[in-house]
């Protein structure tokens, strides 16, 4: 299994990420954003990521069917590698 030391490191990393997110939220609030705006933005990002994941899955399946890499399909669908 996973060692106790590895779990402790992971916990510490999650605590650092949590603190960084809290600081980012505080910064956005100080810039005048409301919690509702931030929650809506986060919700939209989640929706975007779910749609993007579905698109990536479909591209992957299509690439397997065609016997090519997913990267080779990007130009055909006018996609950038950063998409």
Q: Which pLDDT tens digit goes with each residue over 26-72?
A: 998 899 988 898 889 899 999 999 999 999 999 999 999 999 999 99
Taking residues 7-31, what's their average pLDDT?
93
Output the pLDDT for position 57: 94
Residues 6 or more apart in contact with residue 56 via CB below 8 angstroms: 70
Output the pLDDT for position 50: 96
26 and 39 inside one domain: no
> pLDDT-based confidence at 20, cuts 50/70/90?
very high
14 and 50 inside one domain: no
Output the pLDDT for position 2: 78
> pLDDT-based confidence at 83, cuts 50/70/90?
low
> Which structural domain, as residue segments, surrounds residue 16?
1-33
Q: Which two three-digit tokens encode residue 33?
A: 């954003």
Q: Which two three-digit tokens encode residue 46?
A: 């989640």
20 and 47 inside one domain: no
Domains in the chain, number: 2
């Amino acid at each position: 299994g996973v060692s106790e030391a590895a779990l402790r490191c992971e916990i510490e990393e999650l605590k650092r990420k949590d603190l960084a997110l809290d600081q980012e939220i505080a910064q956005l609030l100080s810039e005048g954003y409301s919690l509702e705006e931030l929650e809506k933005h986060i919700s939209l990002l989640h929706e975007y990521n779910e749609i993007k994941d579905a698109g990536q899955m479909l591209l992957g399946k299509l690439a397997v069917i065609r016997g090519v890499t997913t990267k080779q399909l990007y130009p055909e669908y006018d996609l950038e590698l950063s998409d």
